[in-house]
């Protein structure tokens, strides 16, 4: 039951009912005893522990996924927030074990980790909160939202250090090292990997971190390559070669993967140090691995093509160099590229053209790279904003979902109890009145969020308005920006007689293209899009223009029918225009 529905119920029954205090005392005691009994049941806790232990043996398998759901269902049944959070964490891990799995389930993955964080927070499980935040940071890294990742993970590192959580300190520094490499900051990447390495050395169960030790030393070696300290990077490779074969042999798949990426790092350093005979042997060895293990080929073919291109560039075989670079940029591999891959490929391509004395092509390639980097800045900015909005919306859904589940549970419980004592109706109205202040507070919070959104939208509009339109990705996006800008400045949507044809004419396009573009970027029809603009404008007037009546506002905003205006407004905001205006007035008094 949402805020709007409950408020309507209160309006219909506009009187307060008094509940017999003895009945209330019985109910409260009954509820308290029930919760205490449920929360201290050793048998039930043992069942959760057993399910968790079984899951650990089958994690990242189809059976493990089923066990995670079973753990979730049992934890919800017992109302055990800690294990509920843990089960959602497992469900998120199962959907993001590999990058392709994450791509196929990205919305559900983020949702599960947010649920895990919410339940862990509710249970007072700081470790669970940190683990969930860490997994969300990994997701943002995969998405390329590195600024958003750093904003999330730096406070997380401080929390881990304050609580002396060596596991989280190791994992966070390892992730930070990868992020700084993507940001082309190898010095900071090396420092972070070294911090993680030091934390690992201090860990009491040091021998349990063999995989982490390999990955941290590998990150240090990678950082040294980007710092152009090739021989030192090779020495790290030699150290790792002996280490992981001795210490990680219990997991053959892990050994194969580590050997593969270690050989990649060796090759790139061997090429830079002109040890080409050794390099080509390892390049051919990687091809054998790819043929034997298709999964390796799927995620590493881009790097393999780039290594071949580097090799042939050193041999001054520039046609072969360009051939392998074009393979890396082909449609089926392009999705594997991150920013560093893209920069490396295009810089090598430009160098190859220059070596062929084709300076026009070299200049064109450099220009294409610069345009890409400029577009990435805008895309990342917009993606980060959208992710922040998505997180806010998902968190609202989580809270609403939790509240609804709790209300449903207690409603069913109360119905059973009150069917015996005969006061179901009295108790229902008591609960509604008891929550009235909370509901009003939530309505005020909604209003404040919209008020903050007004300020934020104005700032975002200024940023996007000043951005060079040449950097927009498509003619559709350019047209949509023109539509938004024109309507924002002209307020043409306030005209009741506005038509598709008239707006298309003003923008120099045709009716069909206009409708198609609006639907592409908003999912709305032309009429829905215009009405949404009118509703936003009416909300603004209701909040800030006290001298205008509601009747004046709906006419001013271009609505021909008051009934239709009220219907659309309530559907969008879950409040009537008068309720929103009352909240605005109360908020102004509180501010004063």
What the chain holds in terms of domains, given with CATH numbers, is 437-591 (1.10.10.60)
pLDDT the model gives residue 267: 95
The pLDDT-based confidence of 143 (bands split at 50, 70, 90) is confident
Q: DSSP states of 203-245 as a string?
A: -TTGGGGHHHHHHHHHHHHHHHHHTT-HHHHHHHHHHHHHHHH
Mean pLDDT value of segment 560-572:
93
User: How far apart are the C-alpha atoms of 311 and 313, rounded to whole Å?
Assistant: 5
Mean pLDDT value of segment 71-91:
92
Q: DSSP states of 341-369 as a string?
A: HHHHHHHHHHHHHHHTT-HHHHHHHHHHH
| Dihedral sign (CA 370, 371, 372, 376) | positive
pLDDT at 486 over 50: yes
pLDDT the model gives residue 276: 95
pLDDT the model gives residue 413: 75
Q: At what angle do helices 166-182 and 146-162 cross, to 10 degrees?
A: 160
pLDDT the model gives residue 265: 95
- Using alpha carbons, list the distances in angstroms from residue 399 to 96, 395, 402, 515, 535: 24, 6, 5, 36, 26
Mean pLDDT value of segment 298-325:
91
The pLDDT-based confidence of 438 (bands split at 50, 70, 90) is low
- What percent of the chain clears pLDDT 90, i.e. is strictly above it? 38
pLDDT the model gives residue 445: 65
Q: Render pLDDT for 250-309 as a digit per residue (tens, 0 to 9).
A: 566 677 888 899 999 999 999 999 999 999 999 999 999 888 888 777 777 888 999 999
Q: Render pLDDT for 328-361 as a digit per residue (tens, 0 to 9).
A: 877 454 544 566 777 888 899 999 999 999 999 9
């Amino acid at each position: 039951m949402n805020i709007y529905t409950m408020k309507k119920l209160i309006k219909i029954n506009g009187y307060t009912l008094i509940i017999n205090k003895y009945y209330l005392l019985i109910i409260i005691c009954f509820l308290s005893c029930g919760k205490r009994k449920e929360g201290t049941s050793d048998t039930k806790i043992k069942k959760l522990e057993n399910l968790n232990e079984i899951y650990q043996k089958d994690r990242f398998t189809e059976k493990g996924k089923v066990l995670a759901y079973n753990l979730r269902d049992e934890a919800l049944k017992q109302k055990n927030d800690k294990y509920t959070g843990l089960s959602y964490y497992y469900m998120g891990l199962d959907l993001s074990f590999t990058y392709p799995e994450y791509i196929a389930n990205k919305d559900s993955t983020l949702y599960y980790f947010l649920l895990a964080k919410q339940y862990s927070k509710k249970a007072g499980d700081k470790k669970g909160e940190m683990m969930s935040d860490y997994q969300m940071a990994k997701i943002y890294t995969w998405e390329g939202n590195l600024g958003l990742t750093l904003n999330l993970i730096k406070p997380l590192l401080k929390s881990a250090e304050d609580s002396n959580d060596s596991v989280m300190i190791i994992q966070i520094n390892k992730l930070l090292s990868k992020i700084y490499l993507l940001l082309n900051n190898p010095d900071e990447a090396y420092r972070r990997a070294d911090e993680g390495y030091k934390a690992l050395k201090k860990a009491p169960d040091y021998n349990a971190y063999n995989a982490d030790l390999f990955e941290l030393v590998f990150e240090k070696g990678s950082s040294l390559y980007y710092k152009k300290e090739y021989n030192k990077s090779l020495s790290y490779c030699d150290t790792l070669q002996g280490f992981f074969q001795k210490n990680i042999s219990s997991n053959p798949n892990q050994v194969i993967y580590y050997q593969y990426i270690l050989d990649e790092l060796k090759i790139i350093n061997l090429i830079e140090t002109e040890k080409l005979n050794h390099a080509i042997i390892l390049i051919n060895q990687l091809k054998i691995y790819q043929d034997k293990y298709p999964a390796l080929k799927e995620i590493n073919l881009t790097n393999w093509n780039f290594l071949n291109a580097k090799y042939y560039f050193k041999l001054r075989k520039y046609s072969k160099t360009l051939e392998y670079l074009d393979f890396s940029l082909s449609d089926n591999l392009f999705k594997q590229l991150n920013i560093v891959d893209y920069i490396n490929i295009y810089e090598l391509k430009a160098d190859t053209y220059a070596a062929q004395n084709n300076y026009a092509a070299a200049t064109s390639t450099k220009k294409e790279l610069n345009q890409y980097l400029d577009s990435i800045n805008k895309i990342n900015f917009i993606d980060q904003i959208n992710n922040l909005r998505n997180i806010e919306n998902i968190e609202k859904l989580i809270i609403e979902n939790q509240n609804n589940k709790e209300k449903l549970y207690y409603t069913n419980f109360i119905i059973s109890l009150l069917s015996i004592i005969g006061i179901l109706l009295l108790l229902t109205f008591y609960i509604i009145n008891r929550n009235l202040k909370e509901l009003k507070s939530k309505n005020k919070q909604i209003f404040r969020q919209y008020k903050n959104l007004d300020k934020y939208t104005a700032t975002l509009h200024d940023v996007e308005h000043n951005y060079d339109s040449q950097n927009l990705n498509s003619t559709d996006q350019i047209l949509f920006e023109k539509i938004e800008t024109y309507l924002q400045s002209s307020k043409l949507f306030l005209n009741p007689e506005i038509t598709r044809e008239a707006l298309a004419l003003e923008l120099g396009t045709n009716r069909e293209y206009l409708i198609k573009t609006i639907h592409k970027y908003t999912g709305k029809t032309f009429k829905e899009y215009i009405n949404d603009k009118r509703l936003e404008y009416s909300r603004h007037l209701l909040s800030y223009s006290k001298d205008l009546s509601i009747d004046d506002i709906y006419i001013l905003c271009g609505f021909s029918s008051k009934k239709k205006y009220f219907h659309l407004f309530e559907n969008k905001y879950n409040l009537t225009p008068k309720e929103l205006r009352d909240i605005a007035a109360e908020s102004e008094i509180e501010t004063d």
